[in-house]
Amino acid sequence: MNADESVVNASVKLQSAPSWYLVQCKARQDGRAEEHLARQGYVCVRPKCVQQLLVKGRLHKRVGSLFPGYLFVQLNDGCGWGPLRSTRGVSRIVSFGEKPAPVSDDLVWRLQERAKGLEIPLFRAGEAVRVVSGELAEMDAIFKEMDGAKRVILLISLLNREQRVSVPLATVFRH
């Protein structure tokens, strides 16, 4: 094999190497889309993290998508997009113009690694919240920190000063 043939063979290998693409899923159906795509033999990556949420006044944790409504799919450049678009839970392939936009391998794997062990809290320190019931109902506040499992500490502006108060977690919502 001469040098010209090896260059042609190398370029053919590069062109046929699979690329990652971003798929937008239908509302709350990224898990369903991932499952159905995997059944069809597609390689999918959906970075997941632990999320805190409030259910019936109690703090719970669940594993959810780091980017709700999106997942990455690996495809060969020459394969058709039809089966992918008609998959349950898939809305569209993220594109610029008419051409789907490839995503680098490095970015996909870095996101996947970064999501491992990541926990997203219900509220972050400094976040604006609103008290919706109790003595301080309808007051805006700043979330400071958790106070055990069922209470939060807030900063509320009273009498032209920020006052630190502890209220039940179930009475506080994002503003």
Residue 11's pLDDT is what?
40
CA 32 – CA 62 distance, rounded (Å):
17
Residue 10's pLDDT is what?
41
Residue 56's pLDDT is what?
83
Instruction: List, in order of start, the domains of the chain with CATH numbers.
Output: 3-120 (3.30.70.940), 128-174 (2.30.30.30)
CA 45 – CA 73 distance, rounded (Å):
7
Quick one: how far is CA 162 from the chain centroid?
Answer: 34
Residue 16's pLDDT is what?
60
Backbone φ and ψ of 66, nearest 5°: -65, -35
Residue 57's pLDDT is what?
77
Residue 58's pLDDT is what?
81
**pTM for this one?**
0.74
Mean pLDDT, consecutive 10-residue stretches, the chain (175 aa), reads 46 64 95 96 95 86 94 85 90 90 95 92 95 93 92 93 94 89
What is the DSSP pairing of strand 119-120 with strand 48-55?
A: parallel
